[in-house]
Structure 1
Amino acid sequence: MKTIVAISLFIFTGMFTALFFGFDLSEASQSIEYDDEQEGLQDEVVIKFSHVVAENTPKGRAARRFASLVQERTEGAIKVEVYSNGALYDDQNEYTALKDGHIQMIAPATSKLTERFPKWQVLDLPFAFPTHEAVREAYQGTIGTQLLNSLNNEVKGMTFWYNGYKQITSSEKQLNVPSDFKRTHFRIMPSPVIDSQFHSLGASTSKLPFNKTYHNLEVDFINGQENTLSNIFSKKLFQEQEYMTLSNHGYLGYVVLMNDEFWEQLSKEHQMVINQALQETTDWIRRHSIEMNDAHLRQIKRSDSLEIHYLTKEQKKLWKQSLNPVYKEAEPIIGRSLMEEIYRLQEKYE
Structure 2
Amino acid sequence: MKRFSGILLAAAFSLSATGVVAQEYVIKFSHVVAPGTPKGKAADLFAKLVNERMKGKVHVEVFPNSQLYNDNKVMEAMRLSDSKTTGIMAAPSLSKFVKFSRTIQAFDIPYLFNDINDVHKLVDSPLMAKMTQPLERKGLKAISLWDNGMKVFSIRGDRPLKKVPDDFRGKKFRIQSSEVHAAMIKALGGVPQKLPFKEVYQALSQGVVDGQENAWSNVYSKKFYEVQDYITVSNHSYLGYMVVVSASFWNGLPDDIRKELTAIMAEATEANRRFAAEADKGDRARIEAAGKAKVVELTADELAQWRKAVSGVEGKFSKQIGRDLLKQIHDLLGH
TM-score, scaled relative to structure 1: 0.85
Give the match's secondary structure for 1:138: helix
Q: Name 1:21's counterpart in structure 2.
A: none
Give the match's secondary structure for 2:147: strand
Structure 1 window deviating more from structure 2 (119-128 vs 129-138): it is 129-138
Q: Name 2:131's counterpart in structure 1.
A: 147
Separation (CA, whole Å) in 1 of partners of 2:41 and 2:171: 33
Deviation, structure 1 residue 344: 2.1
Does the Cα contact within 8 Å between 1:184 and 1:203 map onto a contact in 2?
yes
TM-score, scaled relative to structure 2: 0.88
Deviation, structure 1 residue 103: 5.5
Separation (CA, whole Å) in 1 of partners of 2:255 and 2:42: 23
Deviation, structure 1 residue 123: 0.6
Q: Alignment partner for residue 233 of structure 1, among 220, 223, 226?
A: 220
Separation (CA, whole Å) in 2 of partners of 1:60 and 1:50: 10
- Report whether the alignment pairs 1:175 with 2:155: no
Give the match's secondary structure for 1:93: helix
Query: What is the letter of the counterpart of residue 289 of structure 2?
Result: R
User: Relative contact order (C-alpha < 8 Å, sep 6+): which is higher?
Assistant: 2
Query: What is the letter of the counterpart of residue 162 of structure 2?
Result: N
Separation (CA, whole Å) in 1 of partners of 2:108 and 2:169: 21
- Report whether the alignment pairs 1:130 with 2:123: no
- Report whether the alignment pairs 1:164 with 2:149: yes
Q: CA RMSD in A?
A: 1.6
Q: Name 2:41's counterpart in structure 1.
A: 61
Does the Cα contact within 8 Å between 1:129 and 1:345 map onto a contact in 2?
no
Separation (CA, whole Å) in 1 of partners of 2:113 and 2:33: 23
Deviation, structure 1 residue 228: 0.4
Cα deviations by residue, 1:42-94 (Å, 9 ceiling, x for unpaired): 82211001000000000000000011111122124211000000001112322
Deviation, structure 1 residue 146: 1.4
Q: Name 1:291's counterpart in structure 2.
A: 278
Query: What is the letter of the counterpart of residue 229 of structure 1?
Result: W
Give the match's secondary structure for 2:259: helix
Separation (CA, whole Å) in 2 of partners of 1:239 and 1:336: 42
Does the Cα contact within 8 Å between 2:152 and 2:213 map onto a contact in 1?
yes
Separation (CA, whole Å) in 2 of partners of 1:253 and 1:235: 17
Which runs of no fewer than 5 residues in structure 2 stay unpaired? 1-21
Count of matched residue positions in the alignment of Structure 1 and Structure 2: 308
Which stretches of structure 1, 4 residues or longer, exceed 4 Å deviation after superposition? Answer: none
Q: Name 1:74's counterpart in structure 2.
A: 54
Does the Cα contact within 8 Å between 1:92 and 1:209 map onto a contact in 2?
no
Which runs of no fewer than 5 residues in structure 1 stay unpaired? 1-41
Separation (CA, whole Å) in 2 of partners of 1:277 and 1:153: 25
Query: What is the letter of the counterpart of residue 75 of structure 1?
Result: K
Q: Alignment identity in percent?
A: 33
Q: Name 1:313's counterpart in structure 2.
A: 300
Q: Name 2:18's counterpart in structure 1.
A: none
> How do 1:273-288 residues align onto structure 2 when only pairs under 5 Å count?
273-288=260-275
Does the Cα contact within 8 Å between 2:100 and 2:134 map onto a contact in 1?
no
Q: Alignment partner for residue 250 of structure 1, among 233, 237, 256?
A: 237
